[in-house]
């Protein structure tokens, strides 16, 4: 074969190959441009578009009158675009002190193979300004919505918290999360291949959907009242913690719920988990004697006793080798149900528990809802513990009948007592009232719900009458409210820790309702581990009286006239005369004999708790209104040395009482010498000293000064 023929064949083969390649490329181009053009154009567009999320507005939480308790405000979050940042190590070093984060962590986030990374979410405005001032390419600020508490820590346990992604993790924020959370949106903008914003490029906004608003049963004004009182209760009794709950007995609506100590909601999940516990719902405690009205209602409703049944109270009694005694070990003799309730007789109620028997006791325990959670719309609700019925012996029934060896949560106890105040109807306790969308349209109304009728209306009304007797004639005298008839029950329980009684640790409580004979609200006070005085009638009852007085005044409850007189049974004593209200005198810083004299002259009795020569705190507070004949509890145990520094005030010219009050307001003690007005003091006015420091005051009568 000649050379020319070979060359021609090679040429034809090359032309054929080029033709095939050209045809394939042309076909591929036609496919890419026409058949798959839209797909690849969209893919390229999406590659150029970088999404930046826009958080939807989370729904507000409002009080029953529409006042915002929890809402939103704009804040900024720091983000990185890793593809844009050239010197990641330098950027991390510059940002670390501003964001208070390790530079290694920042560099690790910046080195991820992503278009977008959060560095720190929802920073303070000062931090955002410093980040912006750095001007680092690839580091930016994105607006987000932060949860904002207009009233600070007010109702924080009820409201709860949400996490950085606006998902509820505590309180109502968690319970109603599905309604409160919205649908997030995003901004998509075009970027160059180098990851820089494209000049004149497109931007698309995908709008989110705001969450729904929750209207609660809380009244912000009542909440403010009890927040103040619960804080005062802890500070004055030096207790570990305390709680106050206010409930509408007709509907089960929680009008206010406060605990102390509180926590800062701005810390979110970084705050102390123990402080975030809604212990009124999550912790089952020994109720003590506030359980006694339930035992009385069970015995009366089941026909085990009637109003005239006689109990023989010997002060102490033996049951199965165990000894049960009254709180003061005093024998009441032959008494009826009204007397054992008013005097809070453990012997009487222990007898009643054994008379009821296991079947009836546990039946009514369940009727009052104490064998299961109430279903309140707060997360983590617990239920009480008690001896199983099949294991219960006589001693178990006796001690459980007066609230020992069984437990219940504070919300369970308040709900049960509210049923007595509501003529025997047990209501579902709740905090949610209604849900609205962002345009104001009603999405859901949360209606009150009757759980069951626990006892007959007649029995419930008689137990109400018995509880009024506790306040007027019995252990609850310190809970009286001027102008109103109030029913209630004191409670003092040994604290149980890890299944054992903790010696010297108590829970003081008071639960009651008003105004009688048509109760509208019920209030529970619980004080955990007070120091010094610990009886419920001493420290919880006065706080109840002040809280209930404030609640009734705010609700403008009519000062109901006394109910028509009921025909007295032959054994019943004459009804007591209406007590006379009076201002509680100041006893703080007074020596014991002087405190006794001042209290007696003002018409009060006084009991002293602890060791010491001077009164360091008292209940009720000086200047508050109480009834003559009531008891003032004076604590003589000095507080632990304070770490807080205060300025010693000038006492010159003040009387003994004025000087004592002035020092007490600053947390200082007083040692007084002489009578009359202060003319000299040590340390002098203006000195900085720790709280708890005694200040010596020298007093003279005017004649002595002239000499």
Number of H helices and E strands in the chain, helices first, is 21, 31
HEC string of 392-453? CCHHHHHHHHCCCCCCECHHHHHHHHHHHHCCCEEECCECEEEEECCCCCEEEECCCCEEEE
Higher pLDDT, 442 or 561: 442
Q: Output the pLDDT for position 29.
A: 73
Candidate ranges 56-60, 610-614, 672-676; pick with highest mean pLDDT: 56-60
Q: Output the pLDDT for position 571.
A: 47
DSSP-assigned states of every residue in 110-160 = HTSSSS-EEEEEEE-HHHHHHHHHH--TTEEEEEEEEEE-TTTTTTHHHH-
Q: Which two tokens stand for residue 316?
A: 């102490």
> CA-to-CA distance for 110 and 130, rounded, in angstroms?
19
User: Which of 74-78, 197-201, 599-603, 608-612 is predicted with the least confidence, judged by mean pLDDT?
Assistant: 197-201
User: Which of 63-67, 291-295, 327-331, 651-655 is predicted with the least confidence, judged by mean pLDDT?
Assistant: 651-655
Residue 209 DSSP one-character state? B
Residue 403 has pLDDT above 60, yes or no: yes
Average pLDDT over residues 63-79: 92
Q: Output the pLDDT for position 282.
A: 95
Q: Output the pLDDT for position 623.
A: 75
Rounded to 5 degrees, φ, ψ at 91 are: -60, -40
Strands 333-335, 311-313: pairing kind: antiparallel
User: Which of 202-206, 336-340, 485-489 is predicted with the least confidence, judged by mean pLDDT?
Assistant: 202-206
Q: Output the pLDDT for position 503.
A: 79
Query: How much is the mean pLDDT over the chain?
Result: 86
Residue 431 CB coordination number (10 Å): 24
Strand (E) positions, 574-676?
Answer: 581-583, 605-609, 617-619, 625-627, 631-635, 645-647, 669-674
Higher pLDDT, 91 or 642: 91
> CA-to-CA distance for 429 and 414, rounded, in angstroms?
9
pLDDT in tens, 241-281: 999 999 999 999 999 999 999 988 888 777 888 889 999 99
Cα separation values, 373 from 281, 415, 588, Å: 9, 11, 43
User: Which of 197-211, 556-570, 690-704 is predicted with the least confidence, judged by mean pLDDT?
Assistant: 556-570
Q: Output the pLDDT for position 577.
A: 56
HEC string of 530-566? CCCCCCHHHHHHHHHHHHHHHHHHHHCCCCCCCCCCC
Higher pLDDT, 572 or 384: 384
Residue 469 has pLDDT above 70, yes or no: yes
Q: Output the pLDDT for position 272.
A: 84
Higher pLDDT, 393 or 24: 393
> CA-to-CA distance for 658 and 682, rounded, in angstroms?
17
Torsion sign, CA atoms 397, 402, 408, 413:
positive
Residue 486 CB coordination number (10 Å): 25
Q: What is the torsion angle, in degrees rounded to the nearest 10, for the CA atoms of residue 342, residue 347, residue 352 and residue 354?
A: 160
What share of the chain in percent tops pLDDT 90? Answer: 53
> CA-to-CA distance for 293 and 401, rounded, in angstroms?
10
Helix/strand/coil for 466: helix
Give residue 560's region: left, alpha or beta (phi > 0; psi -120 to 50): beta
Higher pLDDT, 392 or 626: 392
Per-residue confidence band for 486, with pLDDT thresholds at 50, 70 and 90: very high
Residue 286 DSSP one-character state? -
Helix/strand/coil for 10: helix
> CA-to-CA distance for 222 and 556, rounded, in angstroms?
12
> CA-to-CA distance for 412 and 369, rounded, in angstroms?
7
To which H or E segment does residue 99 belong?
helix 88-99
Nearest to 345 by CA among 405, 407, 410, 403: 403
Residue 37 has pLDDT above 70, yes or no: no
pLDDT in tens, 516-536: 999 999 999 999 999 888 888
Residue 566 has pLDDT above 60, yes or no: no
Residue 570 has pLDDT above 60, yes or no: no
> CA-to-CA distance for 408 and 284, rounded, in angstroms?
5
Q: Output the pLDDT for position 705.
A: 38
Per-residue confidence band for 461, with pLDDT thresholds at 50, 70 and 90: very high
Q: Output the pLDDT for position 704.
A: 38
Contact 392, 358 (CB under 8 A): yes
Residue 572 has pLDDT above 80, yes or no: no
Q: Output the pLDDT for position 166.
A: 83
> CA-to-CA distance for 376 and 430, rounded, in angstroms?
5
Q: Output the pLDDT for position 323.
A: 92
In terms of C-beta density within 10 A (0-12 exposed, 13-18 middle, 19 or more buried), how is residue 601 classed? Answer: exposed
Higher pLDDT, 557 or 35: 557
């Amino acid at each position: 074969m000649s050379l020319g023929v070979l060359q021609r064949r090679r040429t034809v083969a090359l032309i054929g190959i080029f033709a095939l390649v050209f045809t394939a490329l042309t076909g591929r181009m036609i496919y890419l441009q026409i058949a798959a053009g839209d797909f690849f154009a969209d893919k390229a567009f999406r590659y150029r578009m970088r999404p930046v999320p826009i958080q939807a507005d989370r729904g507000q939480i409002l009080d029953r009158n529409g006042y915002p308790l929890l809402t939103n405000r704009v804040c900024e979050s720091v983000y990185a675009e890793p593809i844009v940042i050239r010197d990641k190590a330098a950027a991390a070093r510059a940002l670390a002190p501003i964001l208070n984060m390790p530079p290694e962590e920042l560099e690790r986030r910046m080195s991820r193979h992503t278009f977008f990374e959060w560095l720190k979410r929802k920073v303070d405005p000062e931090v955002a300004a410093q980040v912006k001032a750095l001007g680092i390419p690839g580091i930016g600020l994105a607006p987000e919505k932060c949860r904002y508490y207009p009233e600070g820590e007010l109702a924080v346990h009820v409201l709860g918290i949400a996490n950085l992604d606006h998902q509820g993790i505590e309180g109502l924020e968690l319970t109603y999360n599905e309604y409160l959370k919205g649908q997030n949106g995003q901004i998509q903008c075009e970027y160059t291949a180098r990851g820089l914003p494209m000049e004149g490029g497109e931007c698309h906004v995908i709008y989110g959907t705001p969450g729904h608003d929750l209207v609660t049963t809380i009244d912000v004004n009542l909440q403010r009242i009890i927040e103040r009182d619960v804080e005062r209760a802890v500070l004055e009794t030096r207790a570990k913690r305390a709680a106050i709950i206010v409930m509408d007995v007709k509907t089960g609506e929680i009008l206010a719920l406060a605990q102390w100590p509180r926590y800062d909601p701005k810390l979110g999940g970084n705050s102390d988990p123990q402080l975030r516990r809604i212990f009124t719902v999550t912790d089952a405690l020994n109720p003590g004697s506030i359980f006694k009205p339930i035992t009385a209602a069970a015995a009366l409703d089941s026909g085990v006793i009637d109003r005239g049944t006689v109990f023989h109270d010997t002060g102490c009694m033996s049951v199965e080798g165990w000894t049960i005694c009254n709180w003061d070990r005093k024998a009441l003799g032959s008494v009826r149900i009204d007397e054992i309730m008013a005097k809070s007789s453990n012997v009487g109620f222990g007898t009643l528990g054994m008379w009821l028997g296991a079947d009836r006791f546990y039946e009514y325990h369940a009727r009052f809802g104490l064998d299961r959670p109430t279903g309140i719309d707060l997360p983590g609700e617990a239920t009480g513990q008690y001896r199983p019925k099949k294991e219960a012996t006589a001693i178990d029934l006796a001690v459980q009948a007066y609230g020992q060896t069984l437990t219940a949560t504070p919300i369970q106890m308040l709900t049960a007592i509210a049923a007595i105040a509501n003529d025997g109807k047990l209501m579902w306790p709740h905090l949610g009232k209604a849900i609205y969308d962002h345009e104001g349209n009603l999405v859901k109304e949360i209606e009150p719900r009757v759980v069951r009728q626990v006892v007959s209306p007649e029995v419930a009304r008689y137990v109400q009458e018995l509880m009024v007797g506790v306040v007027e004639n019995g252990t609850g005298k310190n809970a009286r409210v001027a102008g109103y008839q109030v029913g209630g029950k004191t409670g003092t329980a040994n604290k149980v820790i890890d299944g054992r009684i903790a010696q010297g640790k108590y829970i003081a409580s008071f639960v009651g309702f008003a105004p009688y004979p048509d109760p509208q609200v019920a209030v529970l006070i619980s004080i955990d581990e007070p120091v010094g005085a610990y009886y419920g009638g001493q420290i919880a009852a006065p706080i109840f009286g002040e809280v209930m007085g404030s609640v009734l005044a705010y609700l403008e409850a009519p000062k109901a006239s006394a109910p028509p007189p009921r025909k007295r049974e032959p054994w019943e004593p004459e009804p007591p005369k209406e007590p006379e209200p009076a201002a509680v005198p100041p006893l703080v810083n007074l020596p014991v004999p002087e405190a006794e004299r001042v209290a007696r002259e003002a018409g009060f009795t006084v009991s002293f708790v602890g060791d010491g020569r001077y009164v360091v705190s008292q209940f009720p507070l000086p200047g508050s209104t109480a009834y003559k004949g009531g008891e003032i509890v004076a604590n003589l145990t000095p507080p632990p040395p304070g770490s807080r520094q205060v300025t010693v005030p000038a006492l010159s010219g003040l009387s003994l009482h004025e000087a004592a009050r002035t020092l007490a307001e600053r947390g200082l003690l007083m040692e007084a010498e002489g009578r009359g007005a202060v003319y000299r003091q040590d340390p002098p006015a203006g000195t900085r000293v720790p709280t708890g420091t005694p200040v010596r005051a020298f007093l003279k009568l005017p004649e002595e000064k002239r000499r």
